[in-house]
Homo-oligomer: A and B are copies of this chain.
């Protein structure tokens, strides 16, 4: 009788995979009194429950039984019609047609589809340093080699990007989060977007522009997307997880038609299609004009939390720790380039013991060894008083070790 040893049978790609540090950490977050500054979560108190209820009634009335039937892999036609004006908002300034939109099951699936579409083992892709760890999780199984793009306070540095592409002309794509970046909260300036568009125009390379956060702007004027500057070379990702509710699982891409067609083919193998009903809910959310007032409400909720978090870090963290000053989004990035001797996991272990969570910086780096002492701090999913408690406790721990 032969037993079965899974380890022996796993595909090679699994060797590059690990569970998300965030999800592992959040398993502890269920404890009573636990203050998680860890996830990239909206505040559930902000979910527009009354609007959702009225939309359910509307969807029931407007859509027939067939809404519960298998649907189109590309997405619901009615949603496409609502997305076109949504994309025209000044924070995106996206030009789209029904042939340049594909709906995905959350924007995480868009990342997985793009990884399947482009990456052969050993292919080069370029990412900001640090970058979104969920993107690394989507890309890793396809075994790319990462090029880390240098970033300063205004985002990636165009001249260095140009040199990088010249050095690696077969690079498959450049993955960037230009607005309120995850994890740093930084924003790529308009001037740099224009220069990067020029660089893309020069080379045979495409950029993936991930934009989950640009609706969550707390100050200053919106900046048009990179897609608006060079739509033929950009795959733009959007999601309604931060501006409606994550659970509808509605995201997608805007991209050249041949990219959308290929994405649809890949999506068929991954999950056939995304729930029509949930797409209809987003459709009617947009059609009913609910986005704008809801954004006002959550911006009023989140902006003071951001302000509070930044000021508490200034007050309670050691001087050695710097932090970013995000104009929007969900995160403040706190870091020190001089604390290599203290391992961030020591701080995390101590914090978890004191019922406070954050995400250590290293999983956000394609090459972990390049990571400074750093932590990603979320300010959207805790009350002001919890943010205050949490940052004070983290400050005490940091003072003890730094």
Instruction: List residues of A whose CB falls within 8 A of some B CB.
Output: 1-14, 17-20, 23, 39, 41-42, 44-45, 47, 49, 52-53, 56, 60, 64-71, 73, 105-106, 108-109, 111-112, 116-120, 123, 134, 137-138, 140-142, 172, 201-206, 232-233, 241, 245-249, 256, 258-259, 262, 264-266, 268-272, 274-278
B271 x A11 contact (CB < 8 A): no
Q: Which residues of B contact A66 (CB under 8 A)?
A: 44
A74 to chain B, nearest CB (A): 10
Q: Known: A247-B276, A277-B247. Contact between A204 and B5, CB under 8 A?
A: yes
B3 x A232 contact (CB < 8 A): yes
Q: Which residues of B contact A41 (CB under 8 A)?
A: 69-70
Which one of B18, B106, B117 lies within 8 Å of A271 (CB-CB)? B106
13 contacts between A and B (CB under 8 A): A3-B204, A10-B262, A11-B117, A11-B118, A12-B120, A42-B69, A45-B65, A70-B241, A112-B269, A134-B272, A140-B269, A248-B275, A275-B275
A175 to chain B, nearest CB (A): 14
A47 to chain B, nearest CB (A): 5
A44 x B60 contact (CB < 8 A): no
A239 to chain B, nearest CB (A): 11
A363 to chain B, nearest CB (A): 12
A67 x B17 contact (CB < 8 A): no
Main secondary structure of the interface of A (DSSP, over half): helix
Q: Known: A11-B117, A44-B68, A232-B4. Contact between A271 and B202, CB under 8 A?
A: no
- Chain B residue nearest to A270 (CB atoms) is B112
The docked-state distance in angstroms from the alpha carbon of A88 to that of B188 is: 56
The docked-state distance in angstroms from the alpha carbon of A246 to that of B69 is: 6
- Chain B residue nearest to A27 (CB atoms) is B72
The docked-state distance in angstroms from the alpha carbon of A49 to that of B245 is: 24
B266 x A17 contact (CB < 8 A): yes
